[in-house]
Structure 1
Amino acid sequence: MSTTGLAGALRAARGGGVRTRPEHVVLAVFLLLVAPVYLLLPADGLWRPSLYWTVLAASVAALVVAVSRSPWRRRWTLVVLAQFGFIAGEAVSAVAQLSHERFVLPVSADAAFVTADLLLLAGVLRLTRPPWRVSRGVLVDTLVVAVSVGTLLVLFALLPALDGARGAAATLTAAFFPLFDIAVVVLLARTAGWSGHRPRAYWFLAAALAGTVVADLSYALWVAGTGSYLPPAAVELCWLSFYVLCAAAAVSRSAVALGSAPAGRDTGQLRLPVLGVAAVALPLASLADELLDLGAHDHGPWLQAGTVVVVLLVLVRLSGLLRAVQAQRSEVERLAETDPLTGLPNRRAWDAAVARAFVAARAAGTPMTVAIVDLDRFKQYNDAHGHDGGDDLLREAARAWGGSLPGAFLARWGGEEFTVLLACGAQEAVQRLAAVHRGVPDGQTCSIGVATWDGAEVPMATLARADQALYRAKRTGRDRTVVAPDRAEALAAEVGG
């Protein structure tokens, strides 16, 4: 930036033209002041621990104040509790160092760190969605990545460094924290959708978790390689950045959006490549291990075991996806056969139901009757009450008729017309349809045309006779039911005419 530009920026800041964000202040102080000073302080003495605990306490205090002052940030409560868990672990570790306690993994502070990690996991999920709403697919995706990455880290980083000298407990303890951190990062990305807009607080929180991955993995390699449990300054800074970035995320104005905004839309554009790489990483590593003879350890059995676990997880994921696709297909089919206004079956569903019913009736020798119900003077009602009032009348009529015609198939044919399929003869159908006349809402009336299937004609022919009967009911005064003559009588009448 030029001198003129800098002067202009300063003048704008003094004049209120620049809006200082609290999270930027926190990061600037840490990156420009704390980090350089921390790296320059001597490893021995009290200056470096004093600065470490000062920054840690200030960060957690800022987090607590930000959460307590805003009811919209209450979703951050579990993250606050996790911070206190980490502080407890840090305190136990500090006391052990001062007392020159002999460190053997797992150490006494690990219980506090594990508890804090679990609280942090629940807190991260709470910030994106309630933990109990996390789908099985999200958990399987996380396990695929964690198992794949974790197996590679343990086999090609930790085991060679440990060289079997410190036992299985030390290896598992050293591997747990970076692997758990990776799982939390993947869950944060996966539950947020991996696509779409992200508030600034999301990126601060993601950076904080990424810092713990780097710190815990570096520390595990440091312990495995050197045998020293005193971390270097760079690793301590990574841990410290976790507290600072969490505080920056909480004090950010976008923290409210992170705590209340719905999860982003998951298009799979990033998820699928990540899962694909995680799924093939272990088989490729096994092949490279065989061809290149990587390291002195026999990685083959472990890589194969990890591959089997990942393949099983992928199969579980595919099974869930297939079930989801099947459920979506069923829902689409249901919607395609449902009238969106009344919720009744539509004309497509009616055609299919009538065709099946007529085939079954022919086989059983039972009568079938169809009826067309038309609301009288519906256009006038619609003009008087508006389209919303007309829609309400159609919905209420459909609800009333559905309850008064048990066992019948009621569908919306179109407009103000409904169709009814009854497994009975014409006279019984007329008696049952009397309930339809009584059930018309808001003092309105309806006209009904009835036709009984003769056992030979196609469904549309029977419906056409019912439509003719409905026309006669309208023409002779409305608010009545008219039964159509059977096909033979209709033909005789036409011939006689």
Structure 2
Amino acid sequence: MSLPRADALFRLHLVVGVALSIGCALMPAGLGHDALYTVISFGCVAMLAVGIRRHRPTAARGWWLVTAGVGVWACADLVWAVYTWILHISPFPSPADALYLTSYVIIAAGFWSFVRSRSGEGDREGFTDAAIFTVGSVLLSWVVLMRPGLEAAGDSTVARVLAAAYPMGDVLMLALLVRLLTTTGARSTAFRWLVAGNTLLLAADCAYQYTTTTGTYSGGIITLPWLLAYVSFAAAALHPSMRHLTDGGDEGQDAHFTRGRLIALTVASLVAPGTLLLQLALGLHLDAWAVALSSVVLFLLVVWRMSGLLQRLDAQASALADLARTDALTGLPNRRTTDAELERMQTRARGEGLPLCVAVLDLDRFKAFNDTFGHQAGDRLLVAAAAAWRETVQTARAGVGAGRAVMLGRWGGEEFVLLLLGHDLSAAVTLADAMRLSTPAGQTFSAGVACWDGLESAAEVFSRADAALYAAKSSGRNQIHPADPIAAPDSSAAPILVAEDRSAPGPAGP
């Protein structure tokens, strides 16, 4: 099968770009080297633009910003080459410095656009993780690049500003790279090449700054990561997956705290004490203030991160508790919750001397309804009936006095339970009948109501209400049937067990 045109261009770009980059890095420093370098860099900028125009991403702003930033970086390289090999001068600072520093900001802005599109504004965990990595990186940059650069710059204000500005530009790029890595959304091919471009750019830049601080830069292999960074950025834009790079992931995906992220955060948090221990062990200059300040900031960020995790765990625990207590279809309390609430109401009724009634409701001919209209229609009926009955119960609850309580729950299938604390049998029957009249879709239900005698168990009072329900069914349905008072046990009579098929249709209702 032939490759799509976009994939063919993507692969051709990688083959040619990598080959030219390796060849350029192996060339001796000189005009020919920098000419090929310029061809590669501006060619990759052109490929970035081609990829954006070809694939038309859903959010093109970030891609155009990255293209502009890489283009400004390429212009800075060209300016430096012109000064070095054509004009044979090395002004300091030069326009190339201004272009390099500007490119940091533009590329970082492009990455920030990607971050906002993929995660929005509410990703507290991702922001905190990126901040932890950034603080650790600032400390390392200070120890390895900034402070040595400031010392080497001497008393020149411009040189000292540039010695600090370049490492800070790298820190800004790294911060946005880490923030992008903590976003939700798919890690597509375009995403990985974009990350690779930023990483290679940072690696080459830091290697260059370290080389100029400790010795003399002479080109060579250090130029290869820069060239491959150009190739990687262009490869990201040329791949078809770039059009969906800014699509966010599933809600809550960013909350998945992997072991890898935990290890990375642990390492970042240990940068400050590790730096101090290493300096002490090697007898190096101690950056006490930098280590102390970064340690404080890292500690506060870790505490903030842990508080976010605890809040999320609390929210998840609360959601799980709600799921365990609630019927998923109707949103009413489920059977487990209803059982527990009945026992609590019994305790209150006994202690406060209040009446307690239990009503068991069952939709009439629900099996026939399902068989006729389908189970989805049956589910819709259950949801609508639960909503209508809940509204009736809430109206009744608003009118009851202090110490009274009403709760409607789903027992299972088409069967529901109504618990009424502080209601006598007559009031309970009245409320159940009001609910019966509010049943939607022209449907009806039958119910049995039992008043607790103060001694029987929860199972026993429910059993009497259930028996009254079947008496209502046998009497024609669509009615409320009060349960008979509990009878004294008769030891001379043997119990009679009657098995009934609840699914079998009874006599026609009125």
TM-score bracket for this pair, using the shorter chain length: 0.7 to 0.9
Alignment of 1:85-96 (within 5 A): 85-88=69-72, 91=75
TM-superposed CA distance for 1:42, in Å, is 4.1
Q: Which residue of 1 aligns with 2:53?
A: 68
**Structure 1 residue 302, shift from structure 2 partner:** 2.3
Task: Give the distance between the partners of 1:258 and 1:104, measured in 2 at CA.
Answer: 36
Of 146, 154, 172 in structure 1, the residue corresponding to residue 142 of structure 2 is 154
1:386 maps to 374
Is 1:436 the equivalent of 2:435?
Answer: yes
Contact 1:450–1:470 (CA under 8 A) maintained in structure 2: yes
Taking the aligned partners of 2:261 and 2:354, their CA distance within structure 1 comes to: 57
- Please list, as runs of the form range in 1=range in 2, the aligned pairs for 1:254-269 lying within 5 A after superposition: 254-256=241-243, 258-260=245-247, 262=249, 266=256, 268-269=258-259
Question: Structure 1 residues 393, 493: CA separation in 2 closer, same or farther (over 3 Å shift)?
Answer: farther
**Matching of residue 366 in structure 1 with residue 354 in structure 2:** yes
Output one character per residue of 1:216-264: Cα deviation in whole Å (capped at 9) or x when no partner: 21233244345x8x88365554334333211111111333454447377
Q: Structure 1 residue 35: deviation in Å? A: 4.0
Q: Could you say which residue in structure 2 is the equivalent of 1:304?
A: 292
Equivalent position amino acid for 1:189 in 2:
L
2:263 pairs, out of 270, 273, 290, with 273
Assess if the C-alpha contact under 8 Å between 1:144 and 1:313 holds in 2. Answer: yes
Asked if the contact 1:451/1:484 (under 8 Å) is kept, the reply is yes
**Partner amino acid, structure 1, of 2:408:** L
Secondary structure in structure 2 of the residue aligned to 1:412: strand
Q: Is the 8 A contact 1:76 1:123 kept in 2?
A: no
Where does residue 64 of structure 2 map in the other structure? 80
Of residues 238-247 and 332-341 in structure 1, the stretch that sits farther from structure 2 once superposed is 238-247
Q: Distance in 2 between matches of 1:292 and 1:100?
A: 37
CA contact 2:356–2:420 (8 Å) conserved in 1: yes
1:450 counterpart residue number: 449
Q: How does 1:120-159 map to 2 (within 5 A)?
A: 120-125=110-115, 129-133=118-122, 135-159=123-147
Shift in Å, 1:114: 4.2
Aligned match for 1:422, one of 417, 420, 423: 420
Residue 272 (structure 1) shift: 1.5
Aligned equivalent of 1:411: 409
252-261 or 202-211, larger mean C-alpha shift: 252-261
Q: Classify the secondary structure of the residue corresponding to 2:481.
A: strand
Alignment of 1:207 with 2:205, yes or no, is: no
Structure 1's unaligned 5+ residue stretches are 1-14
SS of the residue corresponding to residue 332 of structure 2 reads: coil
RMSD after superposition? 3.4
Quote the Cα distance in structure 2 between the aligned partners of 1:325 and 1:307: 27
Identical counterparts, % of pairs: 31
Residue equivalent to 1:333: 321
Which whole-Å deviations, capped at 9, do the CAs of 1:104-139 have from their partners, x for residues lacking one?
A: 999533662343133122244257x14425x11111
Shift, 1:93, TM fit:
7.6
Q: Distance in 1 between matches of 2:69 and 2:35?
A: 20
Equivalent pair of 1:38/1:51 in contact (CA under 8 Å): no
TM-score, normalised relative to structure 2: 0.81
Question: Which secondary structure state, in structure 1, belongs to the residue aligned with residue 368 of structure 2?
Answer: helix
Aligned counterparts of 2:35 and 2:207: Cα–Cα separation in 1? 23
Query: When the two structures are superposed, what TM-score results if normalisation uses the length of structure 1?
Result: 0.83
- For residue 332 of structure 1, what is the amino acid of its counterpart? L
CA distance in 2 between partners of 1:84 and 1:17 (Å) = 30
Q: Distance in 2 between matches of 1:40 and 1:110?
A: 24
Question: Structure 2: how far apart are the matches of 1:242 and 1:59?
Answer: 9
- Long gaps (5+) in structure 2: 84-88, 398-405, 495-510
Q: CA deviation at 1:192?
A: 4.8
Which amino acid in structure 2 is aligned with residue 213 of structure 1?
L
Verify the 8 A CA contact 1:67 1:77 in the aligned structure 2. Answer: no
Q: Which amino acid aligns with 1:202?
A: F
Separation of aligned partners in 2, 1:16 and 1:492: 87
Contact 2:112–2:176 under 8 Å retained in 1: no
| Partner Cα distance (1:303, 1:148) in 2 | 10
Amino acid at match of 1:435: A
CA distance in 2, matches of 1:241, 1:192: 26
Residues 345-387 of structure 1 deviation map (CA, whole Å, 9 limit, x = unaligned):
1011112222333333444443332211111122222222232
Q: Against the structure 1 CA distance between its residues 140 and 178, is the aligned structure 2 distance closer, same or farther, given a 3 Å change threshold?
A: same
User: Aligned partners of 2:493, 2:2: CA distance in 1, in Å?
Assistant: 97
Distance in 2 between the 1:69 and 1:117 partners? 21
Instruction: Report if the CA contact (8 A) 2:452-2:461 is conserved.
Output: yes
The number of residues matched between the two structures is 469
Q: Report the Cα distance in structure 2 between the residues aligned to 1:494 and 1:434, rounded to whole angstroms.
A: 37
Deviation at 1:102, TM superposition (A): 2.6
Aligned to 2:208: 219
| 2:411 match: secondary structure | strand
Deviates more, 1:347-356 or 1:78-87: 78-87
Aligned with 1:491 (options 488, 491, 500): 488
Once residues 105 and 56 of structure 1 are traced to their aligned partners in structure 2, the CA distance between those partners, rounded to angstroms, is 18
Is the CA contact (8 Å cut-off) linking 2:130 and 2:178 kept in structure 1?
A: yes
Tell me, yes or no, if the aligned pair for 2:29 and 2:220 is still in contact at 8 Å.
Answer: no
Deviations 1:253-296 (A, max 9, x none): 33345444737784613212211222223323322322331x2x
C-alpha distance 164-483 of structure 1, shift in aligned 2 (>3 A)? farther
Cα separation, 1, equivalents of 2:43 and 2:173: 23
Secondary structure at the residue paired with 2:327? coil
Residue 425 of structure 1 deviates from its aligned partner by 1.9
Higher mean C-alpha displacement, 203-212 vs 144-153: 144-153
Match 2:98 to one of 85, 89, 108? 108
Aligned mates of 2:308, 2:176 — CA distance in 1? 22
Kept in 2, the 8 Å contact 1:158–1:220? The answer is: no
CA distance in 1, matches of 2:464, 2:43: 85
| Conservation of the 8 A alpha-carbon contact between 2:76 and 2:96 | no
Q: Compared with structure 1, are the counterparts of its residues 313 and 261 closer, same or farther at alpha carbon in structure 2 (3 Å cutoff)?
A: closer
